[in-house]
Structure 1
């Protein structure tokens, strides 16, 4: 009997030893973004329903991180791990109270897993790395019958930039709550921490403003191509803000102005200076802006609501920068949105305002910045805003003109890097892409990856940069399928640009790791673009 028991024990040891040796090394699990330091260990941790999660530290967000971890695994594992403070084989530990420190340390041995961070955010990012270290099947819904094998090793990691974001344009084509939440889920997996929502444009107004109800009743009723449009109530917006916060993502609302405002001008004719041409016949604008000003601006003109617009041309609309009602309108909007936005930033747009005279544009931006500041927020604007005098701390988002970005830096302000030739997710991959635009460039996966924000613009160094953001404009995006096609896999490349030091990034290595990420997307049913530059098989 003792002999049989010995054989069985030896056999069990051999099975466990075999399991611990057959899987990939930690450094081979397709980690994106690439951690700063990865050291492979010996053996594996075998995760079963017998494991427990131990919370160490006083941060109340630890419980939410444990719940997130359990929810992420439960469909594939079939169980939820007990959570407590007494003991556990998976330890989540906050060692300090520095919310700005997003670094973490992940240690995996055969007996336990420890994730340490100086903030809850750091622990959350360690959890994302831990999930990626597991077999890709944990991202699916099919039940995994055996123990989940996690390679042993140690990771020490921290981000290069504090702001790592993406933008969703829900104005050109409206994307509903479920799609935005889906996007937030994928952003969290890649350690992105800001979602910029482009909530207004010529084609639609997408956020309820209770003091100006026609903005959504009329301005939110259509979209590019003439579809039904849509908008978020303030309660729905707050739900998105909380959903994002649970994933350590901050929402940045944008109300684009003084241009890109036809939806507002169609909703309230008293705001319309009368120089926009919403029928799209922009070639008929033969007068100079100065002559247009003489004819249309002033308080004694007869103002009429603009027609709703469903095209894709830009630059034809503007708010009246001399009208006091304009600034009451903006103050009401900023006040209502700021009150339900806990994050520090409010995006004021400022791009492509081609029919706003230069002096009027500068006056407008400087006055609107003050309104935003009065409501407790910091302004971000597209790089054109740097042609005005920026308030201290305000941010210029570089998308087009390097000289504008340099103007911001010259004023002592930070730049958010979103160069259209590298970071715009709405650009086509190549001439065969089924949707997308290519006015800036064709942006294949290698192009999205092979650039360094700190050296992209001469005269702008890493210390001048707040972070990196990848925008998705939706002129050609009608639904989640379209969104996924243009976003994935490029968002993973841009997430790595924002997180990992340029000196450690390598295109050949990324090709191997993105292949594993593609398997995760496949198992989740994400219809990503399978770039021919990667051997996805």
Structure 2
């Protein structure tokens, strides 16, 4: 028995020694899985050992980089279980964050240098450091969960990355009007899209089915207008404090919130609340649900519309002849602009089919003027180009190239969001259980294999502000639904927005996305496993 115990002990010790001595395989940095693909990557021999002995060193004013350092510490902890210390003593086995104007000629650019002794992330501004961190995170061979590396160490390949974005505006849109999503869900989405260097989140805050932002001077917008959604659910809305919380959280991830109040169409939720805004439109009978105003302690409003619970569009409009309408939109724009530090206010302008063009054009021009009055630049769907645009205005190309070209001819820039390529609510194929397909079926290769400069000859690089991927939510009810429709396609569109055309390659993207799928799976993300990828 004693001999057997000794033999077992020797076997166990041999196994432990083998495990301790077993070397991790290090994938060279030029065989990386980074998304978006960087401008340039150069491999060097060796690797950096990330462990509990690694420190995060602030080589710049802590007031400027502390937030980024805390984010790095938290992210590494999430993936590896390591609890790194943040300090200012520059020594070996450190990740150094440095604000350096010479690190990149681009405001959002960065450089990442990895040696066996040190990792240096340098950038002209904190947002560049943040984007460098996103790249570094994708070089750490860990997905979270129970994966702790060999002896709780993680080998990161040596080399250098020089990187900067192709477009200044890299966005995603979330439609919170058709179905409402909570503050925590929006913050979770912010975290997930920040990984792919998205820097704008466009929130569609009003539509026929629901009004989602508190306006103190018009309180029934949320009391009544916010109490519905597609299918007749309970809806919901963001208080002004909720909205400020979202804005602040987005800022911590270097994401700018772009609020949208759609007008003059897509406005039935406002007409539910205030009949005085209604020029006499009617809701499609099959989707109309009466509002019991007396149950809310309110007097009857014979001009107010019923709820619209369907997904039909184009039937609603504000009363463009009424002075009250312009008081209403000024109050709304003023209150939201005061809470929004970003430069853009989106005025919608799409699918206003029952608004005569003779009324639509002056309305858009007045709305645009009000936005400018409160220090913001107007964004609008491409139909707004029928009006006279201010030089600071931006038309969002979603449907008609001729509208985008009209905007360019007026000196405005365009934001590229072609429904046939970039709409995240389009089904992947005919078997997809969520989404619609009125524009197209958009598989992963269709989301990846296009370029903003190749859509129309008259839309040139200098005309393009950036790229945005909208998610409309007629069929999207839960956060898991969001994840399924957004991932992996957002990663593809983020690469179009960030990476130079010369660096993008579909076959290489198919290879790189596999690693991201492994991390998504470890995170419990409900992503779509495209048959075009060998997951």
Same fold? TM cut 0.5: yes
Residue 367 to residue 29, structure 1, CA distance change in 2 (3 Å): same
Q: Which residue of 1 aligns with 2:188?
A: 182
Q: Deviations over 1:495-526 (max 9, x none)?
A: 00101111111110000001111111111111
Distance (Å, rounded) in 2 between the aligned partners of 1:227 and 1:505: 43
Supply the RMSD in Å over aligned alpha carbons: 2.0
Please name the residue that 1:87 is paired with.
90
Q: Give 1:219 shift.
A: 0.5
**2:124 maps to which residue?**
118
Shift in CA distance, 488/278, structure 1 to aligned 2, threshold 3 Å: same
Distance of 1:249 and 1:130 partners within structure 2: 19
CA shift, 1:79, in A, is 3.7
- CA shift, 1:77, in A, is 3.5
Counterparts of 1:496 and 1:485 in 2: how far apart (Å)? 19
In 1, Cα distance between the equivalents of 2:120 and 2:20?
25
Does the CA-based 8 Å contact 1:55-1:93 persist in structure 2? yes
For these two proteins, the number of residue pairs brought into alignment is 503
| Contact 2:287 2:309 (8 Å CA) reproduced | no
**Residues 1:131 and 2:134 are matched in the alignment:** no
Supply the distance in 2 between the matched residues of 1:99 and 1:320 (Cα, whole angstroms): 49
1:19 equivalent to 2:18? Answer: no
Counterpart-to-counterpart distance in 1, 2:165 and 2:256: 16
Aligned partner of 2:44 in structure 1 is 41
CA-CA distance at 1:459 after TM superposition: 0.6
- Deviations along 1:418-446, one digit per CA (max 9) or x if unpaired, are 00000000000110001110000000000
Per-residue displacement from partner, 1:466-491 (whole Å, max 9, x unpaired)?
00000000000001111111111100
Shift of 1:100: 6.9
Superposed, 1:187-266 pairs within 5 Å as 187-266=193-272
Deviation at 1:99, TM superposition (A): 11
CA separation in 1, counterparts of 2:349 and 2:534? 42
Q: Please give the residue correspondences for 1:141-180 in structure 2 after superposition, counting only pairs within 5 Å.
A: 143=148, 145-180=151-186
Q: Distance in 2 between matches of 1:141 and 1:417?
A: 41
CA shift, 1:48, in A, is: 1.0
Q: What SS does the corresponding residue of 2:380 show, helix, strand or coil? A: strand
Unaligned runs of 5+ in 2: 1-16, 289-300
* Partner residue in 1 for 2:526: 527
Give the structure 1 partner of residue 491 of structure 2: 492
Partner in structure 2 of residue 60 of structure 1: 63
The separation in 1 between residues aligned to 2:73 and 2:334, in whole angstroms, is 38
Residues 80 and 142, structure 2, Cα contact 8 Å, conserved in 1: no
* Aligned pair partner of 2:283 in 277, 283, 298: 277
Contact 1:136 1:519 in 2 (8 A): no
> Is 1:420 the equivalent of 2:416?
no
TM-score (norm 1): 0.90
SS at match of 1:341: coil
Gaps of 5+ in 1: 1-11, 283-301
Preserved contact between residue 276 and residue 318 of structure 1 (Cα < 8 Å): no
User: For residues 509 and 99 of structure 1, what CA distance do their matches in structure 2 show?
Assistant: 27
Offset at residue 456 of structure 1 (A): 1.2
